[in-house]
Amino acid sequence: MLFALGAGCPAPVDEEPAPTSQLVAADILEVEPNDRDYQSLGVVEPPLVVGGTSSACGSGGSYEGSDIDRLSFSVAEPSQLSLRLEVVGGDLDMRLYDPGGDLMAVEDSPGIESEGLELSIGPDADYGVELLCWLGDSPHWRLIFSDGSSQ
Protein backbone atom coordinates (compact mmCIF):
# COMPACT_ATOMS: atom_id res chain seq x y z
CA MET A 1 0.00 0.00 0.00
CA LEU A 2 1.23 3.46 -0.88
CA PHE A 3 0.13 5.32 2.22
CA ALA A 4 2.03 5.43 5.49
CA LEU A 5 -0.79 6.37 7.83
CA GLY A 6 -0.36 8.36 10.98
CA ALA A 7 -2.26 8.18 14.22
CA GLY A 8 -5.44 9.64 12.82
CA CYS A 9 -6.84 13.06 12.23
CA PRO A 10 -5.08 15.98 13.92
CA ALA A 11 -7.10 17.96 16.41
CA PRO A 12 -8.84 21.14 15.26
CA VAL A 13 -6.70 24.23 15.54
CA ASP A 14 -7.30 27.49 17.36
CA GLU A 15 -4.58 29.48 15.63
CA GLU A 16 -2.42 29.12 12.59
CA PRO A 17 0.99 30.64 12.00
CA ALA A 18 1.02 33.46 9.44
CA PRO A 19 -2.74 33.44 8.78
CA THR A 20 -3.93 34.93 5.53
CA SER A 21 -7.28 36.66 5.32
CA GLN A 22 -7.67 35.72 1.64
CA LEU A 23 -8.34 32.05 2.43
CA VAL A 24 -11.12 30.34 4.36
CA ALA A 25 -10.26 29.26 7.90
CA ALA A 26 -8.76 25.79 8.21
CA ASP A 27 -10.39 23.09 10.36
CA ILE A 28 -7.05 21.29 10.62
CA LEU A 29 -3.50 21.99 9.46
CA GLU A 30 -0.99 19.82 7.70
CA VAL A 31 1.71 18.40 9.94
CA GLU A 32 5.26 18.32 8.61
CA PRO A 33 7.06 16.25 7.63
CA ASN A 34 4.63 14.91 5.05
CA ASP A 35 6.87 15.00 1.99
CA ARG A 36 7.47 11.25 1.95
CA ASP A 37 4.81 9.73 4.22
CA TYR A 38 1.15 10.58 3.93
CA GLN A 39 -0.48 12.49 6.79
CA SER A 40 -3.71 10.65 7.56
CA LEU A 41 -6.84 12.75 7.75
CA GLY A 42 -8.83 9.64 8.70
CA VAL A 43 -12.46 9.42 7.60
CA VAL A 44 -13.38 12.71 5.95
CA GLU A 45 -16.85 14.11 6.52
CA PRO A 46 -17.45 17.17 4.34
CA PRO A 47 -17.30 20.04 4.70
CA LEU A 48 -13.67 19.94 5.82
CA VAL A 49 -10.89 22.46 5.20
CA VAL A 50 -7.25 21.43 5.52
CA GLY A 51 -4.68 24.22 5.55
CA GLY A 52 -0.96 24.45 5.01
CA THR A 53 2.01 26.23 3.54
CA SER A 54 4.47 25.06 0.92
CA SER A 55 7.94 25.88 2.16
CA ALA A 56 9.70 25.47 -1.21
CA CYS A 57 8.58 25.54 -4.81
CA GLY A 58 10.07 23.97 -7.91
CA SER A 59 11.98 25.98 -10.44
CA GLY A 60 13.19 25.77 -13.98
CA GLY A 61 10.10 23.88 -15.14
CA SER A 62 10.30 21.02 -12.63
CA TYR A 63 9.13 20.07 -9.14
CA GLU A 64 12.72 19.35 -8.07
CA GLY A 65 13.27 20.83 -4.62
CA SER A 66 9.54 21.42 -4.18
CA ASP A 67 7.72 20.89 -0.91
CA ILE A 68 5.30 18.02 -1.59
CA ASP A 69 2.46 17.84 0.89
CA ARG A 70 0.89 14.36 1.04
CA LEU A 71 -2.45 13.63 2.70
CA SER A 72 -4.50 10.44 2.86
CA PHE A 73 -8.19 10.10 3.57
CA SER A 74 -11.13 7.72 3.41
CA VAL A 75 -14.91 8.01 3.44
CA ALA A 76 -17.47 6.11 5.52
CA GLU A 77 -19.81 5.32 2.61
CA PRO A 78 -19.75 5.68 -1.19
CA SER A 79 -19.41 9.39 -1.83
CA GLN A 80 -19.44 12.11 -4.43
CA LEU A 81 -16.67 14.47 -3.34
CA SER A 82 -15.43 17.79 -4.54
CA LEU A 83 -11.82 18.69 -3.74
CA ARG A 84 -10.86 22.30 -4.31
CA LEU A 85 -7.36 23.61 -3.74
CA GLU A 86 -7.15 27.36 -3.09
CA VAL A 87 -3.75 29.05 -3.03
CA VAL A 88 -2.43 32.48 -2.13
CA GLY A 89 1.09 33.42 -3.17
CA GLY A 90 1.86 30.66 -5.64
CA ASP A 91 0.74 27.93 -8.00
CA LEU A 92 0.25 24.43 -6.61
CA ASP A 93 -0.80 21.33 -8.51
CA MET A 94 -2.89 18.45 -7.15
CA ARG A 95 -2.66 14.71 -7.80
CA LEU A 96 -5.14 12.11 -6.57
CA TYR A 97 -4.18 8.45 -6.00
CA ASP A 98 -6.42 5.41 -5.58
CA PRO A 99 -6.00 2.89 -2.71
CA GLY A 100 -3.53 0.87 -4.80
CA GLY A 101 -1.29 3.89 -5.28
CA ASP A 102 -2.25 4.43 -8.93
CA LEU A 103 -2.70 7.96 -10.20
CA MET A 104 -6.42 8.72 -10.65
CA ALA A 105 -6.41 12.40 -11.55
CA VAL A 106 -4.12 15.38 -12.03
CA GLU A 107 -5.14 19.01 -11.77
CA ASP A 108 -2.32 21.23 -12.93
CA SER A 109 -3.99 24.20 -14.54
CA PRO A 110 -1.64 27.14 -14.98
CA GLY A 111 -2.21 30.10 -12.73
CA ILE A 112 -2.49 30.86 -9.07
CA GLU A 113 -6.24 30.81 -8.47
CA SER A 114 -7.39 27.28 -7.59
CA GLU A 115 -7.47 23.65 -8.70
CA GLY A 116 -10.47 21.34 -8.43
CA LEU A 117 -11.52 17.71 -8.78
CA GLU A 118 -14.91 16.00 -8.68
CA LEU A 119 -14.87 12.31 -7.85
CA SER A 120 -16.90 9.30 -6.81
CA ILE A 121 -15.12 7.07 -4.32
CA GLY A 122 -15.87 4.00 -2.27
CA PRO A 123 -15.65 3.46 1.49
CA ASP A 124 -13.13 1.62 3.62
CA ALA A 125 -10.10 2.50 1.50
CA ASP A 126 -7.40 5.15 1.75
CA TYR A 127 -6.99 7.64 -1.08
CA GLY A 128 -4.01 9.96 -1.40
CA VAL A 129 -3.64 13.57 -2.40
CA GLU A 130 -0.33 15.20 -3.30
CA LEU A 131 0.03 18.97 -3.41
CA LEU A 132 3.12 20.04 -5.35
CA CYS A 133 4.37 23.61 -5.37
CA TRP A 134 5.15 24.72 -8.92
CA LEU A 135 5.71 28.44 -8.35
CA GLY A 136 5.77 30.90 -5.49
CA ASP A 137 7.42 31.99 -2.27
CA SER A 138 5.98 29.93 0.61
CA PRO A 139 2.39 29.99 -0.67
CA HIS A 140 -0.48 29.29 1.71
CA TRP A 141 -3.09 26.72 0.62
CA ARG A 142 -6.46 25.27 1.59
CA LEU A 143 -7.74 21.89 0.46
CA ILE A 144 -11.51 22.00 0.72
CA PHE A 145 -13.52 18.77 0.85
CA SER A 146 -17.20 19.27 0.06
CA ASP A 147 -20.17 17.11 -0.82
CA GLY A 148 -20.11 16.73 -4.60
CA SER A 149 -23.72 15.52 -4.84
CA SER A 150 -25.10 19.00 -4.10
CA GLN A 151 -22.95 20.77 -6.69
Give 38-84 pLDDT, tens digit per residue.
999 999 999 999 999 999 888 767 888 889 999 999 999 999 999 99
CA-based torsion, 81, 82, 87, 90: positive or negative:
positive
Residue type, 127: Y
Give 132-149 pLDDT, tens digit per residue.
998 888 899 999 999 986
Residue 9 has pLDDT above 50, yes or no: no
Residue 32 has pLDDT above 50, yes or no: yes
Judge contact between 45 and 76, C-beta under 8 A.
yes
Domains and CATH numbers, the chain: 28-150 (2.60.120.380)
Judge contact between 86 and 142, C-beta under 8 A.
yes
